[in-house]
Amino acid sequence: MAPSATVEPKSRQGPVRSALERLIQSGEIESDPIQRRLADRLDALDRRLSAEVGASKKSALGWLFGQKRDADPVKGLYVYGDVGRGKTMLMDMFFRQSSVAAKRRVHFHALMGEVHELIGEHRRAHKNGEVKGDDPIPPVAARIAEKSRLLCFDEFTVTDIADAMILSRLFKALFANGLVLVATSNVAPDDLYPDGLNRPLFLPFVKVLKEHAEVFELAGEEDYRLAFLGEEDIYVETSDPAAGQRIDAAWERLLDGSKETTASLSVKGRTIPVPRAGNGAARFAFDDLLKRPLGSQDYLALAQRFHTILVENVPVMDEAERNEAKRFITLVDTFYDAGKRLVVSADAPANELYQGRSGTEAFEFDRTTSRLFEMRSREYLEKASAREDARS
């Protein structure tokens, strides 16, 4: 349990801190002094933004036209820390109660996908003589900032060289347009895009980021999402009348109060849709993940992006489902090797999932069965959390 901390009088608490205290008082989360400090920082940021809104009073975009450029700019906040520390929960509390009208909450990868689309639109328009200027970054940044004074995004991680190469110029332009950023990540700014191709060209972005956003480490050891995710939650047989409820309950614990969204990954030009995602976890139906022509690189990308994958309704397979069985073997191997968590609901025990007798799949599925048993053990779950912490 986290150490106790003095609770401020309710009259002095901001909305984020008050919402956090309600969760603590209800027993939904543990008392955590570092979370309280972050809540207070977020409330302080909202007070500055609220004062600015009150000064303009003209429209949702009054800040854009009424702000003095020589005034002390409002600095955003970059929050990083271990998986499960409540970063997304607190950011979402801040976003919901913020008085800023021109605000947006988006996943980092979704934003970058939008940016690349806007860049493509500008280049096509320039080619057709519809716009002047062949540099797409200033107009793209202006379009984004025009709609959003406050931008909140979750799971800031840079793995794509195309993103890395434009981030510095893009965000320099966004900040110049008055945008305020609140972001969460598992890593400190200096550790973004580690060992990435042409990383020296990415480093100016880190400087720009730290100039326009204060850095807050939400340190700690306990992973709140996994504290109540035990062996019985990792592999659920659908023959259990309560199987659906158990899987839904596990998913809610993984979300830990975060909003469920959709997401996508780009792997070598292919797009992998993620129908349900949140708080570093992803949820798939078997057909969505194992009946599609995906391979080891796709599953590795999922393992790099998410700490936990939940796969529902895995059927019993035989020779007729050899391709699906092969993909399932690859999925399990990839997540096992990466030390990530795999939550499964299936139509049979792990050692009865593959009924085929010919080909290599029968032999290989023996290893998959062994790994599925190991991956639901408390020892594996604790090691998975430790490996995630080491990477953060």
Is residue 69 pLDDT above 70, yes or no?
A: no
Q: Which residues of 95-104 are buried (b: 16+ CB within 10 A; e: fewer)?
A: beebebebbb
> E-assigned strands of 186-268?
213-218, 235-237, 261-267
Report d(CA 111, CA 109) in Å as an integer: 5
Which DSSP symbol is given to 73? P
Phi-psi category of 237—alpha, beta or left, where left has phi over 0 and alpha has psi -120 to 50?
beta
Both tokens of 11, joined, read 């009259």
**Per-residue pLDDT at 388:** 55
- Is the pLDDT at 289 greater than 90? The verdict is yes
Tokens of 347: 């139509």
Q: What is the pLDDT of residues 303-348, one digit of tens each?
A: 988 989 999 999 999 999 999 999 999 999 999 888 889 999 999 9
Nearest to 90 by CA among 102, 100, 105, 101: 105
Q: How far apart are CA 248 and CA 323, in angstroms?
A: 28
Of 176, 178, 212, the C-alpha closest to 77 is 212
List, for residues 97-108, the tens digit of each pLDDT value: 998 989 999 888
Average pLDDT over residues 85-113: 90
Q: What domains are defined for the chain?
A: 10-218 (3.40.50), 231-391 (3.40.50)
